[in-house]
């Protein structure tokens, strides 16, 4: 399943999900059939394999095609009939390859995948989450003509009590320039039509779209609208694209954040794309199960720590009115890591791909970047500034934020629209949550972050699932329950805090490097374990979130 709705009526698409050949050895001695999407850590014998893996399938066709990869972890090199046609770095963003003039017949598609921590990789490094290897999200084969519609971005604004929808429609032309007609509109509403000359490369057409009395998107009534565009040449339809959006504006008034006129109060969880059975290649059924748990515990928000998420997950959040903080890819990088030769380009590409592909999701209320990186240093600040400027140049309709752990030393709090702090009182240090939070909030008011909305982007405590012991020592389920309860009560009782994301939704796999602080080689701060079995703290969260 590519998305939770049909994205084309005209463009022919075929999902290439299913059994592919997989091998790692040059001789192909270990060749076996595996399902795509998947990661090799879920194949017997490859649970801890780090290196190169090869995936191959065939498809039949003739002419021009676009291959869309929704996610390959972490580097993918694509070959069609033995010829290299594309490459991409970063597991968590979609990318595509256009192949022109294929002869009629059956073609071989091979993807060489690498998850090694090599010197080219600045974002996928040993970290407090696992870098899996494989084709972790769907692969789609699309038949295209000389030009195709890459995206439709919709920006909704309410003026004088009337909603307006401004569209930017991007068309990619792989051949010479030609005259065309572009039509666009919201489903069941009036269509607009424009005559255009399409140059080679990418052109963006801007137009306003109409809808009589649209219903506003709210968290309790998340109404979605479909927008479609079609491209015609010489009277024949060449291509189309359908996407979804909601009528809504995110605004900041004083130190509060609003979705239209609804004040946003976050009862959230941090969620890694990680599952005991699937690694980071989580199927839609399991995604929805996660969301059912979040809703069952009276939560209303997800932070996609620490990278962009699968579009199908965002679709499900749109449909259920869940607030999403979507994050660029980077966790805990120090100055030296941020000075890596590829860091700027890899990190900025991730932001571009995230915003281009996820612009329309009404569930996303903020873009986050650079979790716990060097926001205390002059050099770090340059990078934060550059990335916030990049975001605003791509989307100035949403607030920005970043999660900092640099209490009293952060020098970047003037840069985002929302200030977010990760704090772990009673887990990493002994201070009453209420006292700590008061100190943190008062300090923020002495910085460039003064007066801005404040989110507690992480609080939490570890518990090894099933560990119970008298006296509730650290790592027991009872201790986690006690700590979380005190932390949550303190945050939610604070009059000026927009909300909280618990660290974390589910236990998640980490590398062996940090074994002494991570029993089981897992980050054990989940309120459910890696199979989604609730720990004792689940009920506590459920009761506290119900009150807020």
Which of residues 525, 527, 540, 541 is near ligand ADA by CB under 6 A?
525
Decide whether 452 or 525 has the Cβ nearer to ligand ADA.
525
Per CB under 6 A, contacts with ligand ADA among 389-408 are 405
Q: CA 505 to CA 545: how far, in whole Å? A: 14
Which of residues 17, 310, 315, 372 is near ligand ADA by CB under 6 A?
372
Shortest approach of ligand ADA to residue 258 CB, angstroms? Answer: 27
Long-range contacts of 471-475 (CB under 8 A, 24+ apart): 475/519, 475/524
Shortest approach of ligand ADA to residue 535 CB, angstroms? Answer: 15
Shortest approach of ligand ADA to residue 127 CB, angstroms? Answer: 8
Question: To which H or E segment does residue 87 belong?
Answer: strand 83-89
Shortest approach of ligand ADA to residue 33 CB, angstroms? Answer: 35
Shortest approach of ligand ADA to residue 369 CB, angstroms? Answer: 13
Q: CA 482 to CA 474: how far, in whole Å? A: 11
Say how far residue 100 (Cα) sits from the centre of its chain: 31
Record the tokens describing residue 382, joined without a space: 């340059």
Nearest residue to ligand ADA, by Cβ distance, number only: 128
With tokens 């599952």, the residue in question is 275
Q: Is residue 422 part of the contact set for ligand ADA (CB under 6 A)? A: yes
Classify residue 547 by burial, with Cβ atoms within 10 Å: 0-12, 13-18, 19+.
exposed
| Interaction mask 255-294, ligand ADA, x per CB under 6 A | ----------------------------------------
Which of residues 55, 503, 538, 545 is near ligand ADA by CB under 6 A?
503
The CB-side HSE value for 447 (13 A sphere, CA atoms) comes to 23
Q: Return all residues near 454 (Cβ < 8 A) that are at least 6 apart.
A: 255, 418, 419, 420, 421, 441, 444, 496, 497, 498
Peptide bond into 148 cis (omega under 30): no
Decide whether 17 or 128 has the Cβ nearer to ligand ADA.
128
| Interaction mask 312-341, ligand ADA, x per CB under 6 A | -------------------x----------
Decide: 320 and 288 in contact? Cβ < 8 Å.
Answer: no
Per CB under 6 A, contacts with ligand ADA among 127-146 are 128
Long-range contacts of 341-347 (CB under 8 A, 24+ apart): 341/122, 342/120, 342/121, 342/122, 343/122, 343/123, 343/383, 344/383, 344/386, 346/89, 346/90, 346/121, 346/122, 346/123, 347/122, 347/123, 347/383, 347/387
Decide: 503 and 449 in contact? Cβ < 8 Å.
Answer: no
Q: CA 130 to CA 74: how far, in whole Å? A: 11
Tell me the site size for ligand ADA, rule CB under 6 A.
Answer: 10
Per CB under 6 A, contacts with ligand ADA among 72-101 are none
Q: Is residue 371 part of the contact set for ligand ADA (CB under 6 A)? A: yes
| Interaction mask 439-468, ligand ADA, x per CB under 6 A | -------------------x----------
Q: Is residue 530 part of the contact set for ligand ADA (CB under 6 A)? A: no
Shortest approach of ligand ADA to residue 128 CB, angstroms? Answer: 4
Q: Is residue 375 part of the contact set for ligand ADA (CB under 6 A)? A: no
Sites of contact with ligand ADA (CB under 6 A): 128, 331, 371-372, 405, 422, 458, 503, 523, 525
């Amino acid at each position: 399943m590519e998305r939770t709705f049909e994205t084309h009526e005209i463009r022919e698409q075929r999902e290439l999900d299913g059994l592919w050949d997989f091998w790692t050895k040059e001789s192909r001695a270990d060749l076996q059939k595996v399902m795509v999407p998947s990661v090799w850590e879920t194949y017997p014998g490859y649970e801890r394999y780090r290196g190169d893996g090869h995936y191959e399938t065939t498809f039949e066709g003739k002419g021009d095609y676009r291959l869309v990869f929704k996610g390959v972890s972490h580097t993918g090199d694509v070959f069609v009939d033995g010829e290299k046609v594309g490459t991409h770095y970063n597991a968590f963003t979609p990318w595509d390859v256009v192949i022109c003039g294929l002869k009629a017949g059956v073609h071989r598609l091979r993807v060489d995948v690498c998850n090694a921590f090599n010197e080219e990789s600045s974002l996928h490094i040993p970290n407090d989450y696992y870098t899996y290897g494989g084709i972790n999200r769907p692969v789609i084969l699309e038949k295209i003509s000389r030009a195709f519609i890459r995206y439709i971005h919709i920006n909704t604004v309410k003026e004088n009590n009337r909603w307006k929808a401004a569209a930017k429609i991007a068309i990619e032309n792989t051949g010479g320039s030609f005259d065309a007609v572009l039509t666009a509109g919201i489903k069941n509403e009036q269509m607009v039509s424009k005559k255009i000359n399409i140059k080679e490369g990418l052109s963006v057409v801007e137009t306003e779209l109409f809808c009589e009395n649209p219903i506003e998107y709210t968290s309790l009534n998340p109404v979605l609208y479909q927008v479609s565009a079609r491209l015609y040449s010489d009277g024949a339809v060449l291509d189309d694209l359908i996407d979804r959006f909601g009528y809504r504006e995110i605004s900041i008034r004083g130190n509060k954040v609003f979705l239209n006129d609804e004040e946003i109060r976050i009862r959230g969880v941090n969620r890694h794309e990680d599952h005991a059975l699937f690694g980071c290649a989580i199927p839609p059924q399991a995604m929805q199960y996660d969301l059912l748990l979040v809703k069952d515990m009276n939560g209303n928000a997800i932070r996609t720590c620490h990278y962009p998420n699968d579009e199908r997950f965002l679709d499900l959040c749109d449909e259920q009115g869940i607030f999403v903080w979507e994050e660029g890819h980077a966790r805990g990088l120090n100055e030296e890591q941020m000075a890596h030769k590829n860091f700027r380009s890899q990190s900025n590409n991730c932001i571009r791909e995230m915003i281009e592909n996820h612009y329309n999701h009404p569930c996303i209320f903020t873009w986050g970047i650079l979790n716990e990186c060097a926001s205390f240093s002059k050099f770090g600040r340059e990078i934060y500034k550059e990335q916030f400027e990049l975001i605003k140049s791509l989307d100035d309709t949403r607030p920005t934020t970043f999660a900092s752990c640099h209490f009293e030393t952060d020098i970047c709090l003037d840069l985002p629209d929302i200030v977010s702090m990760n704090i772990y009182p009673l887990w990493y240090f002994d201070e009453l949550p209420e006292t700590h939070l008061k100190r943190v909030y008062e300090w923020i008011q002495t910085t460039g972050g003064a007066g801005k909305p404040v989110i507690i982007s992480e609080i939490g405590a570890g518990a090894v699932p099933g560990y119970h012991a008298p006296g509730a020592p650290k790592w027991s389920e009872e201790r986690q329950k006690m700590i979380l309860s005190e932390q949550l009560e303190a945050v939610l009782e604070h009059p000026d805090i927009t909300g909280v994301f618990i660290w974390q939704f589910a236990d998640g796999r980490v590398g062996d490097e940090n074994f002494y602080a991570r029993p089981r080689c897992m980050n054990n701060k989940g309120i459910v374990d890696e199979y989604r079995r609730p720990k004792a703290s689940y009920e506590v969260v459920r009761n506290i979130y119900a009150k807020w």
